[in-house]
Structure 1
């Protein structure tokens, strides 16, 4: 027995128990930092590095790691316990909860599926149009509901449509083959078969299957129908293999386009994905006098055009990879074939299963539209919004979180059915329901609400507060002062590349939480607009395209689309580059003008903050 065989069981045991070793050994190894370097900066750095390693390795749940500041900061004398705890439920958390309640209501009443199928029925089933349709719907839905829920809903629909397309094309090929075989005269066929049988009996020669196929190609017009049929079999086999290869590529392309579009679409709105909320919270925490520079309207004004540009370029790249650029074939400008009609019927049937719009769906849609309108008009920037005119007398009393909680509360007030006599159906126990239930109840919310994300947000805000209170932010800023020699656009580009690489191996929430306070310190040190680096890096944290484990939508697509890791790496590497370039194009053009990036804002000077 060799050395490898002897040590292998021990290595495997160590691998399976690695989390316990990381949990125990990491704080002991890092303890040399606060012991050797006195001062609160080193203590806060110890806490941040410990949390970063726990987050990256996920040796304990992410939300539990986010609670470590509640333990470490008071014990190390960095912050009082009350000051730490209050960071875990700020206005940004209220915005996140309100946005999630809306998303839960939309999912609960299947409104998102109705929207998806309605759009797909409009675009049709030709490959390129189908890809555009799935990408558009996935991106739009992920602006309002979670990227994971969008992907989990859209992929089965895509899979069903592709299966129907494949089945109808196979049946059409079978019909074409039967038609081609039936074009031969039956009398001639009979005579040639008799001649062939006599000749075979006289000579007694029996050819192998491969030889018969080769003979069929050579003498298919002058020997017999048997060989002609063999030639058709060979052609059919070739067409079958070509069709399998085509639909294998198409399935991979559709799976990737859905998961990538969900991640891209989440960047377009402030509530679309967690990193966006983290940026809002960090800006308000670190720069309290920022004048609400990041709100729903300002974020949408910058991020939505960037999302559209990224989505178009993603479609071009996936089209090139999986469909080619035969646009006449993939778009199809002519009359729809029978295959297209049959596949279209599948989507129409799925849509009909939903029935007519129920009262509950209509009310959820009305509340959703009203919420978006109130968000956009609260503080649009170029004019005073309704919140400023009606409520903000001397201070920003009403925020996006206020609006989100107000509208989401209506889901627990408005009934799901119109009032009528005679009851409202029966419950699970068979009892008559005498009053209509509300659009949402707490059991549904409790089951679907990701409470762990709320703790993650709070942990990020606690880290930012601890860094500022301990002086670690100031020390980091002074250490990064030499970066003034590098052009700002180069700094932004390099940082986006770093964040996009880091987020492939860590959750985008943890990545944003760790990087944003450091980026804010750097911006203050080198006197550039904080949003010039914080905004593009926040969006770059959502560019997790290369690995199945990078984000839940990727993992779902990997299981659905018969994908290999190399397929995702090959497609995602280019998309990462595309995303980084588009983000930096946006921040240096329309973003530069929107946020006045050319000067260092007064509110960013925390030594002399604006009131």
Structure 2
């Protein structure tokens, strides 16, 4: 591109921001604010237009979802759900691993991946430590019992003639007229070492299972992780006439089956890697009494944690009811196969002004209104008179101020500003024209290669920055080669969450790595295979159920801006 021109200037801004995001020379959120300064200075967009992108509908949906998640965390509803599921699955290795993975993935669908991982890792380590302690005690008891039995055997044998040759063949040594067994201490050390080795392997597998499940679970819902909202925002911005193709319901229909399939593959792979193919041991079939006693003691930890939480309080029940109401309103707003409540009740010129963001903010406001309890003792004495004291609400601003990740809000806004700048400057059109030769490549191959590229890139950069940089380019490419934009944008958005190989790739990886049981090689070895499985699963999804769900076989009219397709 000749310089200066608006396309080149916008490209310069994107390159600078990409470098800053990859190197973290500035905090990610600060880098995201650069368009507010650079776009007006380069006459690409005026300041007021750029600023509007930082709090659009997708960001309001994100904020509403975060407020609901903060309320769930604040009242420990997520911990209660986790313990309830673990009580159902039990503590047998394969089922315990599955239990933690299912709970982590489910919670990650609704609250942040980081918060989910930070909560689940201590619970997992407490259970594993109890399992390990019980196994060590069981081994010690067995060893004492074995020594006593051997003592009786030796006492009996000393009354009969001893053939030294026979004794040597049994691994014993004759010293005069007495027999001394040398293998007792060695057996104890060998058993202890084996127990410690198995415990470390189990701990590694469980740690990886939790951080991987947090990343996998986030892809299932529109608000589960930030890249999903980046996609929705950029589709609505680049293709304003898309007919609201990305909704909570449509995304869930596509991404939830993908998540379940990938989570199952991850469970199988981690079992193979850390537990082997011992079906009897992994599922606890035909376990010995000592093993059952060990499992019961570990199971007691989960029961004790549940007992400490007591009965559900009014605040917890209220948060659960609001959460269920939020999900129901999201699903029924515009389900697709029938008119939703937003279309029926709030319709103007055959168009509803209500979005998923409207619903999220409405429920969030209720969290600040509904009290957290009702008590007869909520009175305070003032000058001899009794004054009623209102109970605190389910959520107050101090908690929000402490837990709200405002940096992600700015990061999302910076991505939307970049996408708008690319469109206004003409950079998107120019990129699309340069990618026209890709039309000769089979579309499934394009999607697969792009998924691999994004999955590799997201190991070194944040998933939000990755989707922010790639999605506008993919949108331009799809228009240039007359390919449905969602055919490449959907799988690449999911691929941005496949950050499995490095501790720095995503916060959940960093959290489990900080516990000191994992090496980078452990994560890289497990994550490499899981990355491949993830890309293959996403490619399968986009060519099967997603194809019919979003009608990906035909190029949509709302994407045909040039009129050439």
**Does the pair score TM above 0.5?**
yes
- How far the C-alpha of 1:233 sits from its partner, in A, is 1.6
- How far the C-alpha of 1:393 sits from its partner, in A, is 2.4
What residue number does 1:414 align with? 370
Mapping 1:518-537, distance limit 5 Å: 518-537=473-492
Please give the alpha-carbon distance, in whole angstroms, between the structure 1 residues aligned to 2:278 and 2:169: 36
Please give the alpha-carbon distance, in whole angstroms, between the structure 1 residues aligned to 2:336 and 2:153: 85
What residue number does 2:149 align with? 183
Work out whether residues 189 and 224 of structure 1, in 8 Å CA contact, stay in contact via their aligned partners in 2: no
What residue number does 1:507 align with? 462
Mapping 1:140-151, distance limit 5 Å: 140-151=106-117
Work out whether residues 45 and 421 of structure 2, in 8 Å CA contact, stay in contact via their aligned partners in 1: yes
- How far the C-alpha of 1:38 sits from its partner, in A, is 3.0
Work out whether residues 144 and 271 of structure 1, in 8 Å CA contact, stay in contact via their aligned partners in 2: yes
What residue number does 2:219 align with? 267
Task: Name structure 2 gaps, 5 residues minimum.
Answer: 162-167
Does residue 255 (structure 1) correspond to residue 210 (structure 2)? The answer is no
Work out whether residues 424 and 436 of structure 1, in 8 Å CA contact, stay in contact via their aligned partners in 2: no
Taking structure 2 as the reference length, the TM-score comes to 0.94
Please give the alpha-carbon distance, in whole angstroms, between the structure 2 residues aligned to 1:561 and 1:293: 44
Larger Rg belongs to: 1
Partner secondary structure for residue 542 of structure 1: coil
Work out whether residues 88 and 459 of structure 1, in 8 Å CA contact, stay in contact via their aligned partners in 2: yes
Partner secondary structure for residue 439 of structure 1: coil
Cα 1:575–1:37 change in 2 (3 A) is same
What residue number does 1:371 align with? 326
Please give the alpha-carbon distance, in whole angstroms, between the structure 2 residues aligned to 1:255 and 1:432: 52
Please give the alpha-carbon distance, in whole angstroms, between the structure 1 residues aligned to 2:516 and 2:491: 31
- How far the C-alpha of 1:479 sits from its partner, in A, is 0.4
Mapping 1:217-236, distance limit 5 Å: 217-219=171-173, 224=178, 227-228=180-181, 230-236=182-188
What residue number does 2:31 align with? 65
- How far the C-alpha of 1:333 sits from its partner, in A, is 2.8
Mapping 1:16-27, distance limit 5 Å: none
Work out whether residues 280 and 286 of structure 2, in 8 Å CA contact, stay in contact via their aligned partners in 1: no
Deviates more, 1:335-344 or 1:315-324: 335-344
Cα 1:528–1:347 change in 2 (3 A) is same
Work out whether residues 539 and 583 of structure 1, in 8 Å CA contact, stay in contact via their aligned partners in 2: yes
Deviates more, 1:555-564 or 1:53-62: 555-564
Please give the alpha-carbon distance, in whole angstroms, between the structure 1 residues aligned to 2:534 and 2:274: 20
Mapping 1:398-409, distance limit 5 Å: 398-409=354-365
Please give the alpha-carbon distance, in whole angstroms, between the structure 2 residues aligned to 1:433 and 1:261: 47
Does residue 331 (structure 1) correspond to residue 283 (structure 2)? The answer is yes
- How far the C-alpha of 1:557 sits from its partner, in A, is 1.0
Residues 553-581 of structure 1: CA deviation (Å, up to 9, x unaligned): 00111122511111100000000000000
Residues 461-517 of structure 1: CA deviation (Å, up to 9, x unaligned): 111111111110110000000000001100000000000000000000100100110
Please give the alpha-carbon distance, in whole angstroms, between the structure 2 residues aligned to 1:126 and 1:191: 42
What residue number does 1:5 align with? none
Residues 507-542 of structure 1: CA deviation (Å, up to 9, x unaligned): 001001001101000011101110000000000000
Please give the alpha-carbon distance, in whole angstroms, between the structure 1 residues aligned to 2:376 and 2:534: 56
Taking structure 1 as the reference length, the TM-score comes to 0.87
What residue number does 2:507 align with? 552
Please give the alpha-carbon distance, in whole angstroms, between the structure 2 residues aligned to 1:289 and 1:172: 67
What residue number does 1:591 align with? 546
Partner secondary structure for residue 348 of structure 2: coil
Work out whether residues 155 and 560 of structure 1, in 8 Å CA contact, stay in contact via their aligned partners in 2: no
Cα 1:558–1:432 change in 2 (3 A) is farther
Please give the alpha-carbon distance, in whole angstroms, between the structure 2 residues aligned to 1:232 and 1:148: 47
Please give the alpha-carbon distance, in whole angstroms, between the structure 2 residues aligned to 1:538 and 1:113: 29
Does residue 162 (structure 1) correspond to residue 116 (structure 2)? The answer is no
- How far the C-alpha of 1:218 sits from its partner, in A, is 2.9
What residue number does 2:305 align with? 350
Instruction: Count the aligned residue pairs.
Output: 551
Please give the alpha-carbon distance, in whole angstroms, between the structure 1 residues aligned to 2:175 and 2:112: 62
What residue number does 2:80 align with? 114
Quick one: which of 424, 446, 470 aligns to 1:491? Answer: 446
Quick one: which of 267, 270, 275 aligns to 1:315? Answer: 267
What residue number does 1:567 align with? 522
Task: Name structure 1 gaps, 5 residues minimum.
Answer: 1-32, 196-213
- How far the C-alpha of 1:82 sits from its partner, in A, is 1.1
What residue number does 1:453 align with? 408
Quick one: which of 41, 48, 68 aligns to 1:102? Answer: 68
What residue number does 1:279 align with? 231
Cα 1:379–1:191 change in 2 (3 A) is closer
Partner secondary structure for residue 183 of structure 1: helix
Partner secondary structure for residue 217 of structure 1: coil
Partner secondary structure for residue 139 of structure 1: helix
Cα 1:334–1:222 change in 2 (3 A) is farther
Please give the alpha-carbon distance, in whole angstroms, between the structure 2 residues aligned to 1:554 and 1:224: 58
Quick one: which of 67, 74, 95 aligns to 2:40? Answer: 74
Partner secondary structure for residue 473 of structure 1: helix
Work out whether residues 252 and 561 of structure 1, in 8 Å CA contact, stay in contact via their aligned partners in 2: no
Structure 1 segments, 4+ long, off by >3 Å, are: 184-193, 219-225
Cα 1:416–1:222 change in 2 (3 A) is farther
Does residue 434 (structure 1) correspond to residue 386 (structure 2)? The answer is no
- How far the C-alpha of 1:215 sits from its partner, in A, is 10
What residue number does 1:605 align with? 560
- How far the C-alpha of 1:182 sits from its partner, in A, is 1.7
